[in-house]
Structure 1
Amino acid sequence: MTIRFAFYGRVSTEDNQDPQASRNWQLARSRALIDKHGSVVEEYFDIGQSRSIPWKRRPAASQLLDVIREGARFEAVVIGEPQRAFYGNQYGLTFPVFVHYGIGLWVPEVGGAIDPDAEAHDLIMSVFGGMSKGERNRIKIRVRTAMAAQAHVEGRFLGGRPPYGYRLADAGPHPNPAKAADGRRLRVLEPDPAAGPIVKRIFAEYLDGLGIFTIAEGLTRDGIACPSAHDPARNRHRSGAAWSKGAIRVILGNARYTGRQVWNKQRKDEVLIDVDDVALGHESRLRWNDQDAWVWSTDVVHEPLIGVDDFQNAQDMLSGGGRAKSRTRERVRRSYVLRGLVHCGVCERRMQGQWNHNRPYYRCRYPREYALANTVEHPGNVYVAEDDVLPALDGWLAGLFEPEQIERTVAAMVRSQPDARTDPAAADAKRIIAECESKLARYRAALEAGTDPALVATWTAEVQAHRAAALARVRNHTRTQQQPMNETEIHELVEALGDVRAVLGRAAADDRAAVYRQLGLRLTYAPELRTVRAAIEISAHSWGYGLCPRGDLNPHPLIRGLAPQASASAIPPLGRHDLSIACW
C-alpha cells in the first residue's frame, strides 16, 4: 500500500538562514526516509517562527492540525528534522492529536513511523525536545555573552537606531572574514551636525537649573525639530509637533552621550501567555534592566557630547539628589474596556487611561506633556468617564439588532463581507512574489554574464527570503479566508447570540474590548460640548482577514465569553454607523 504523506518543516530566519535551502534539505531528508513507502502530497513549512512557539501558534503547523481534525487527505506526517519541529514538551502535546485521528508520524531518528506504544520511541522524541530547548538556550547564552564582551572590551556598536544627536558612520569591514566577504561593514556613532549641539544645549540648560518642561518649551519656541520630526521616516507613529518632557528626560538619561558604548539597558523576558493554559507557550516582553546590569565599554569609542561629570550630575538631579523616595508605588494593572479607542477632540491624540475614585477615566494632558509654545488652545486636562460611555454605547450596538433594525443590519453585513479576490494584503504579497521572481531571473542572467558568484549568491538569498515570507502570507490568507455568509446564516448567528446588550455586559473586559476593536470603533470626546462621538466603519478586510501591522502571522484565539453557541469573531462587519453620547 502506498502511503500519502504530509511534510512539515520549520526555519527561523533570525540567524540569516536561507528559507528555500532549509526547506529543500529538510524535504530531501524526509523523502529519503519514505521513498519506499509513499510520497509527499502536501507541504507545510513555517518561516521565521521560533521553535519555542507552540504548534497552535505557528501558521503552517496550526493549519496542519486543522486539516487533520477536519479530515486529512494523507495518512501520515513526515518531519525531516524533529529538533526544528519540537521544542521542550511540544511532542507530548502534539503527537496524541495525531494518534487520536489515526495519523502516523515518521521521523528519521526512529527509522520510520513512531510507535505510540513504544516506550523507546517516546523517550527518543522527548530527548530531542529537550535537546532542542537546550540548544536554543545555549545559543542565547553564547550570543548574549559575545555581545557583552564586544560592547565591554571592543566598544562595538551592536545595531539599532542611533540616539538623537548621533548618526552612523562607516568603521571598516566586518572582523568576521565570511561577513566581510559578503560586504558587511562595522558602524560607529558620530555626532550629528544638526542634532549634536541640541543635546549639549539640553544638558547645559538642565545643569543651569532649568526644568524639563521649560527646556522643551524653549526648543519648540526656537523652531528646533524634536527627535520624531528630525527623523520622521523612523518615527511615523509620532506627530513631531513639539518637544515633549519624555524626550528631554530620555536624552538626559542616555549614557552613550559620554562617548562610551552602553549595552543591556533592556532585556527580553519570556512570560506565559495564559497561566491557565501553559500549552500556549510564552511571549517576549521588553523590560528595563537596573543600571547595575548595564554593560559599559572600558574606553571612549566615539566622540562624546557630554562629559562624564556633567552626565552624572544630571543623573543626580533627575533622581532628586540621590535621596531615597519617601514612598514606593505598587504597580497595579487596571482593565480599560476602551483602551486605545478614545480620542481627544481638540488634538486628535489617543486619550490615556486614568483610574480615579475607583473608576476608569480617559484623559488627555497634551499641554502638560508637549511644549506647544502657546500655539494650540488646549485645556490642561481633558477627562471623560468610562461609565458615562459604555451604557449608551452597548445600547446603541444592541439597537442595531432590534426587530425594526435587524433586516437593515443583516443586509449591511452581507454587503460588507470580504472578497478574497480583492484582499489588498494577499494582492500585495502576490505582487512581492512576482517582483522577487523577476529579480531572480535577472540575477541568473547576471551570473551567466560573468558577475561575481558570491555577490549574486548574496542577492539571491535576500530575495528568496522576501519571496518565502510573501508565500507564507499568501498561504496564511488562504487558510484564514472565510466563505461569505448569506442572510439566513447571519440571522441564525445573531439569534444564537441572544441579547447583545446582556452578552456584552457579561463579557470579560478584555473580550469586550476586543469586540469594540474588531468593530472598528472610534470614540472622539469634545470637551467643550461634553459629548462623545462614536463611529464604526469596517472595511471588507478588517474583521480578521488582514495581517497585524507589526507583521504577526500567528493565529489568535477567538473571542471568549460572548455566547455558548456562537463567537463574535464569526459575525461579518457592520458597515458605517455613528452615535453621539452626552457625558455629564
Structure 2
Amino acid sequence: MNRVAIYCRLSDEDRMKATDNQDSESIQNQKNLLMEYALEHGWEIYKLYSDDDWSGLDNERPEWNAMIADAQDKQFNIVLCKSQARFTRDMEMVEKYLHTLFPIWGIRFVGFADNADTENKGNKKSRQINGLVNEWYCEDISENIKVIFDKKRRDGHYIGGLGPYGLMKDPEQKGKLIIDPEAAVIVKRIFQLYLDGYGTYKIAKLFNDEGIPNPTKYKVLHGFKWKKDTQAAQAGLWNAVTVRRILKNEMYLGIMVQGVHKKVSYKSKKCVPMPKEDWFMVEGTHDAIIDQETFELVQKMLVEKRRSDGLGKPHVLAGKVKCADCHSAMIRLSPSNSRYKYLKCGMVNKKTGVCTGHYIRLDQLEELVLIRLKDYFKNVNEGLLREKCQRMSGEQKTIKSLDSQLYDLSQQIAQKQRAIEVLYMDRVNGHITIQQWSEMKSSFDGQLEALHNRKIALDREKGISTSKQDQDTLLLEKIKKYKDIEVLSASVVHEFIDFVTVGEKSKKAGKQEINIKWRY
C-alpha cells in the first residue's frame, strides 16, 4: 500500500496576499485539501509536515528537513503538496530531489494544484519550467522588496526588526525610533567610562560583575524574540566587542544608519559588509543619546593604541608618550619593590643597546603635563582665535550656497530614483518590455551617476568649509571649558595633546627634557 507524506507551507508573502482565495492558502486548508486527496486515492497517510512563516527558498525549514530525513529512511513512498512551489521555489532543489534523489529513494512527488507528478515522465519539462518560473517569481519579489526598502531607508524610516540597544521602535509611529530610557543610561555610561580611561574589556567586566544584562539578554528579558540564542547571550554576558560596537554606533547621534550589510543573493542568508559611502544615513530622525563632541572624542581615542595596566584601565597619558631620541612608545613598568609606576623607552635592549631607558615616574609626568596644560589654557591667544571665528561670516556664505546646490541635487536624485522605481513596477506588471526597461534604466543610471558624482564633490567642498568653521568655534568653547582644570583626565589629554616626548635624564645636572606637541 502507498504511504504518503503530506507537506504544507505558508510564508509571509502568502499571508499578506489580499485575494479572494486567501483562505485556501492557509495551513489548515492545505492540510484538509491534501488529506482528502490522499484518502480519495486510497493512500495511507504517514505524517503531516507543516512549516508556517517560511520562504520556499529557505532550506533550513525544520519540518521540511524532517520530511527529507524520513524520505531518505524510506518511511513513505509519496510526497504530496498543494503545488511544486509549496515544496520549494529553488530550481536547484527541484533537480536535486524531484529528479535525482527521490527516484533513487523510490519516492514519487505529487503536486495537486499544478499537476506535477514525477510518475508521469511526460511532464518533467513542465516541472522544470515551473521551477524556473517559481525562482523568477522569488527574484522579482526580492527586487521589488529591495526597491521599497531602499526608498524607506532613504527617507529615514527604520526597517529593522528590533531597535539598536538604547533605542526602540516607536509604538505610535511606524518606522520611527525613540529613546529606550533604561538602556540609554547604560549607553551613556559606556561612553563616560571610556572617556575616563576604562578599556572595552574593563567596561565589559565591570558590567558583568554588576549583573547588567548585555543587549541580547536585555531584549529577551523585555519580551523580544532573539534567534541568535548563543550560550553567551543566554548568560547575558558583555564582551569587549559588544562595548566597542556601541562606542562606534552613529545611531546614538540621532542619525539613522542602515544598509551596513547586504545579502549576497536573494537565495542566501549570507551578508557582506558594505563600504560606508553606500550606507543609508539620514540625520535628525530621532533624539540623540550621545552629543557630537563626546562621540568624536571617543572615536579619536579608539584609533589610538592605549596600553592597559592589566586591569583594563590605561593611564591618562597612554598612547601619548614617546622617547625623545628614537620616537618609540614609552611603556609602563610596575617594579615590585616600589610603590611608584614608571615609563621607559620600549626599544631598550640590554644585548643590542638600541636605545637607553629614558625612565620617568608616571605620577611626576602626569603632574608636569597638568601644569603645562594650565599654562597653555592661561596663555592661549583668545584674540587670535576670535579673529579666526570672525572669518566664519565669509565661510557661512559659502556654506549657504553649497547647501542650496546640494538641496537641488538631492531633489533631482530623488526624482530619478522614483522614476526608476516606477519603471521597475511597469516592467514587473508587463506594461513595458524588458528591452524598453533596459534602455530607459540605462539612461536614468547614467544621469544618476553624474548627479551623485556632483553631490560627492559638493559634500567634500562643504565639509572642508564646515570643518574650518566648526574647529574654530569648538576650540574656543573647549578652552573656556578647561581653563580652570584641576585634575588630568584622558579626555582632555586626547583633545589637546598630540604627543609628549621624554628625554634621557642628565646624570650630572639631574634634568630631563619633556616636550609637548599640542594639537592646536
Q: TM-score, normalised by structure 1?
A: 0.40
Structure having greater relative contact order (Cα 8 Å, sep ≥ 6) = 1
Question: Larger % of helix: which?
Answer: 2
Larger Rg: 2
